[in-house]
Amino acid sequence: MEIDAAEFVISVGHPSQILADGLPEVAFVGRSNVGKSSLLNVLLNRKNLAKTSNTPGKTRSLNYYRVNSALYLVDFPGYGYARRTYGEQKRWAGIIDGYLNNQATLRGIVHLLDARHDPTAQDLEMIRWMQYAQKPFLAVLTKVDKLSGSQLKPRLDRTGAILREFEDLRFLPFSAKSGRGKKELWKWIQETI
Ligand code: GTP
Ligand code: MG
């Protein structure tokens, strides 16, 4: 995908602010620190458009990035961040639920999982939740650069076995460091929107 323009548009912290201008959207979800913002920067060929950090929980609302006046990539707040208050978590769940079930322009969901570890119970619960939306769904295994050549295949096999409970679930190895998976991910996004 040629990126002619990529810009941050809005940070949505309340359901009433969710955009409704008709452009297709693809959502990026996953636990805190899994690499959502880093992946978006790689997709958009930008170093720091989406703010990344070593401090989990940096992204706290739905952040919209518009690409070529043609689509939005939506960066979700990471889950699994223990230091959020109960009130914050509830507010978060409400926004996400409203978004998943009411946003007709949502064309697909990309769910990021850390390639180095087994998906957590919360990851699996999230995948189930996301799949209620019945949208095209892709699992992306991030940070594969942190695995050696000999570690990678057994890790991917194991993750594949765990994800087998989800029928037709595709997954894609990705690295924000090397750019591995970028082309395949853009292909999926273009086919999906
Ligand atoms: P929240 O906004 O807190 O939900 O986190 P996030 O999912 O947006 O993660 P972010 O992109 O901020 O990345 C978290 C940390 O992981 C940063 O220190 C990144 O540099 C690092 N990181 C992300 N992706 C990769 C990757 O593919 N390879 C390596 N080696 N590090 C990565
Ligand atoms: Mg982030």
Question: Is CATH 3.40.50.620 what the domain over 6-192 is classified as, yes or no?
Answer: no
Ligand 1 mean position to 43 CA, how many Å?
Answer: 14
Cβ-Cβ contacts under 8 Å for 149 (sequence gap 6 or more): none
**Average per-residue pLDDT in the chain?**
89
> Are the CB atoms for 112 and 35 separated by under 8 Å?
yes
Q: Which of 133, 19, 127, 144 is nearest to 79 (CA)?
A: 127
User: What pTM was computed for the model?
Assistant: 0.93
**Residues of the chain with pLDDT > 70: what percent?**
94
Domain ranges of the chain: 6-192
Q: Is the CB of 35 under 6 A from ligand 1?
A: yes
The pLDDT of residue 60 is 67
* pLDDT tens, residue by residue, 44-66: 999 888 877 666 666 668 889 99
Q: Quick one: CA dihedral 73, 40, 119, 96, positive or negative?
A: negative
Cβ-Cβ contacts under 8 Å for 93 (sequence gap 6 or more): none
Q: Is the CB of 63 under 6 A from ligand 1?
A: no
Q: Quick one: CA dihedral 99, 18, 27, 77, positive or negative?
A: negative
Q: Is the CB of 133 under 6 A from ligand 1?
A: no
